[in-house]
């Protein structure tokens, strides 16, 4: 850390208008399995069926997910977004 060398911190700050040129981002990726994640349609979807005519369709269920490769996850998900929360 340049914070341990006060003169260096002052020189870098002066050269870059008080901002550090060394920008970093830290991501923490939870590697545990997330189970029983619910999904579903918020309301019925009207669909025309050739045999039944107009039907109202709903769907719901659960799924599980887990990140196996943190670096790949960050590169694919966060790396493709300008801003990701």
48 burial (CB, 10 Å; 0-12 / 13-18 / 19+) is exposed
What digits encode the pLDDT tens for the residues 2-59? Answer: 455 666 667 776 666 766 666 777 889 999 999 999 999 999 999 999 999 999 999 9
Q: Are 72 and 31 contacting, i.e. CB atoms less than 8 angstroms apart?
A: no
Cα separation, 5 vs 15, whole angstroms: 16
What is the SS3 assignment for 76?
Answer: helix
pTM to 2 decimals?
0.54
Domain chopping of the chain, boundaries: 2-78
For 55-83, the pLDDT digits (tens) are 999 999 999 999 999 999 988 887 766 55
């Amino acid at each position: 850390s340049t914070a341990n060398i006060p003169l260096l911190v002052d020189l870098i700050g002066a050269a870059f208008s008080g901002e550090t040129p060394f920008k970093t981002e830290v991501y923490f990726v939870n590697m545990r399995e997330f189970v029983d994640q619910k999904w579903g349609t918020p309301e019925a979807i009207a669909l025309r069926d050739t045999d039944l005519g107009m039907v109202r369709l709903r769907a719901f269920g659960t799924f599980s997910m887990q990140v196996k490769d943190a670096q790949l996850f960050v590169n694919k998900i966060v790396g493709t977004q300008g801003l990701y929360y």
